[in-house]
Amino acid sequence: MHFLVAVAALIIIFAVLWDAFETVLLPRRVSRRVRLTRLVYRVTWFPVTFIARRVHQARTRERILGPFGPLSLIILLGMWTMLLLIGYAMLQWSAGSRLANTTGPVSFGTELYMSGTTFFTLGLGDVTPISPLARFLTVIEAATGFGLLALVIGYLPVLYQAFSHREVNISLLDARAGSPPSAVEMLRRHCEQDREGLTQFLRDWERWAAELLESHLSYPFLAYFRSQHENQSWLAAITMIMDTCALVMIGLNELPPQAARLTFAIARHASVDLSQIFLTKPVQPVDRLPHADFQALVALLRDVGMRFHDEATAEARLAELRSSYEPYVAALGHLLLIDLPPWLPAAESHDDWETSVWENGAREVVGID
């Protein structure tokens, strides 16, 4: 019996430490389906989304979902800690409970208490090991606890730096593509103000998509970190960029397609790989660009002097490109409760930089819509 408990304890300890290594240190994709971290996120994400899906107001829904990303790291650390405490307590018990307790007999509860004080290096002294093996396990557990906590705390700045870097470019879309961002608005504003700068802009987003791929494959839980505004998100940003690239790729006058092809390739790569990380199967999304909206899109671009090289086949070629990425981003959007961006700008919308709480309040007072 003691031998079986010891084996089970070693399996628990190894599983936790390996999971922590893969989650925090290993800089590559982990494709294994059975993982403690994945189990924690599935169990905790379901009740949050169950409530959020029943909330129709976007701002309230984001208030529910917003804390989940940072809070999930605390839950994950708590789960690792709890399992390690139990595992080392089981090891001490299987070794014969060779502990001296100044307050009474030694029980499994005493083993758990000893494990906790050792893991957090409290050193209270009311329960002490009295055999060489018990002392050895105590030292190993103290080293494990100190190392795990230092590892997680040390990597927090790295995680938040990756999140902050992701959000900077998303914030820049506000004045460049509207809120929420749309491909048509992106092209309209660049063609009216800085048509030559669109190529450099797409190159910048090519690098952003590559960095997103690298950071979110290494730390998938960053995908749960929400943006500052409810009409902004990393998924909407990367989808809008692929929408823009698709329009340029099918042929718009005076816009070279090479930069768009390169950006589209890495953005689709990121979308597909992240979809695989979260085990989300591609789904057929609701048509984001029906025929009537495509005709409106053509008219809006024509107003700023942009025409397709072959308008007769443009819609079919665009649909073919859309089918290569929309099923993946739609699956991610369903999982993460993130709305995909529209193709056309809203009729009456304001960029985030143009609005504030005070201005909205003033509109309500004087009856301005």
Confidence at residue 363, expressed as pLDDT on a 0 to 100 scale:
45
**Integer Cα distance of 69 and 76 in angstroms:** 11
Domains of the chain: residue spans and CATH: 2-153 (1.10.287.70), 161-366 (no CATH)
CA angle at 102 for the pair 99 and 106, rounded to the nearest 5°: 45
CA angle at 219 for the pair 217 and 222, rounded to the nearest 5°: 105
Confidence at residue 348, expressed as pLDDT on a 0 to 100 scale:
66
**Integer Cα distance of 316 and 134 in angstroms:** 72
What mean pLDDT is reported for the chain?
A: 87
Q: How many helices (H) and strands (E) does the chain have?
A: 14, 2
Q: Kindly report, residue by residue over 191-241, the tens digit of the pLDDT.
A: 766 666 788 889 999 999 999 999 999 889 899 999 988 888 999 999 999
Residue 254 has pLDDT above 80, yes or no: no
Global confidence as pTM: 0.86
Closest CA to 16 of 42, 46, 39: 39
Residue 322 has pLDDT above 90, yes or no: yes
Q: What are phi and psi of 335, to 5 degrees?
A: -65, -45
Most confident of 29-33, 103-107, 200-204: 200-204
